[in-house]
Amino acid sequence: MISIRSSREIDLLEHAGHIVYLTHEYLKPYIKAGITTHELDKLAHDFIISQDATPSCLGYEGFPASICTSVNQEIVHGIPGNRKLKNGDIISIDIVACYKGYHGDSAWTYAVGEIDDDSKYLLEHTKKALYVGLKEIKPGARIGDIGSAIQEYATTHHLGVVKELVGHGVGTDMHEEPDVPNYGVKGSGPILKEGMVIAVEPMLTFGSPEICILDDDWTIETEDYSRAAHFEHTVVVTKEGYKILTGGEHDKSE
């Protein structure tokens, strides 16, 4: 069953989403060569707590940190550790926060210093793929419309679409129904209704989209070691379309 949220619940989801947005903004100036992913995790943890929220990832199915940090060929679920970021790296930071029982979920891929043109291309077009997917959202549209738009955009730009990992509903659980794949067929899948809340999260690769799970049982990376990017927003379906809950002023007027 896909939940339809009341306006009170949407306010709480918006608050949680805003905390996630603020956490990304707080971390941005620290994303530089020399910082470790563990230090970023600690900063995010303390910031989320300071906002009267909790980091939803911490302890989720045993995950040992507050955020996921996935560097270069890592796609998602990287565990923060002693690795120091280097100039030219890209890092995907996935943040989920819970406020009064409601979650917000957003991932963003950042450049560390100066990155090469291929990485710039990957970041630019994965971010664009997120907004191309979001544009499909309105009451009466279907989940497959989102995935088909993302897949078409990615394929046109010669980027790989990771199929094993999908977006999801967001609410009192971090992962709820429905699945929101980054591929699909227009006109197929569940129908979107006003008040549904979903996370759309394209994960695109510069090379092959085949994945590999590391021995830590969490980190997922590309099999061919090509770089991957991940952009994610939590949104609510509105009467006219959708509203981004994890974005800034710019996103709110999108």
With H, G, I as helix, E, B as strand and everything else as coil, classify residue 132.
helix
The residues, any chain, with a CB within 8 Å of residue 56's CB and separated by 6 or more, are 96, 97, 98, 103, 105, 174
In the complex with ligand MF3, which residue's Cβ is closer, 68 or 235? Answer: 68
Q: Which one of Co ion, ligand MF3, none is in contact with 115 (Cβ closer than 5 to 8 A by kind)?
A: none
In the complex with Co ion, which residue's Cβ is closer, 126 or 207? Answer: 126
The C-alpha atoms of residue 12 and residue 5 are separated, in whole angstroms, by 10
Encoded tokens for 136 = 């499909």
The residues, any chain, with a CB within 8 Å of residue 48's CB and separated by 6 or more, are 19, 23, 54, 55, 66, 95, 97
Phi then psi for residue 133, to 5 deg, are -65, -45
With H, G, I as helix, E, B as strand and everything else as coil, classify residue 2.
coil
- Of 17-25, 31-39, 103-111, 118-126, the window that binds Co ion (rule: CB under 5 A) is 103-111
In the complex with Co ion, which residue's Cβ is closer, 110 or 231? Answer: 231
Encoded one letter per residue, x for contact with Co ion by CB under 5 A and - for no contact, window 194-233 reads -----x----------------------------------
In the complex, what is the shortest distance from the CB of residue 133 to ligand MF3, in angstroms, rounded to a whole number?
16
In the complex with Co ion, which residue's Cβ is closer, 30 or 60? Answer: 60
CB 243 within 8 A of CB 121: no
The C-alpha atoms of residue 230 and residue 166 are separated, in whole angstroms, by 11
In the complex, what is the shortest distance from the CB of residue 76 to Co ion, in angstroms, rounded to a whole number?
9
Per CB under 5 A, does 74 bind Co ion?
no
Encoded one letter per residue, x for contact with ligand MF3 by CB under 6 A and - for no contact, window 45-84 reads ------------x--x--x----x--------x-------
CB 233 within 8 A of CB 245: yes
In the complex, what is the shortest distance from the CB of residue 68 to ligand MF3, in angstroms, rounded to a whole number?
5
Looking at residues 105 to 144 of the shown chain, list those that interact with Co ion (rule: CB under 5 A): 105
Q: Which one of Co ion, ligand MF3, none is in contact with 121 (Cβ closer than 5 to 8 A by kind)?
A: none
The C-alpha atoms of residue 121 and residue 17 are separated, in whole angstroms, by 27
Give how many residues touch ligand MF3 by CB under 6 A: 8
In the complex, what is the shortest distance from the CB of residue 55 to ligand MF3, in angstroms, rounded to a whole number?
9
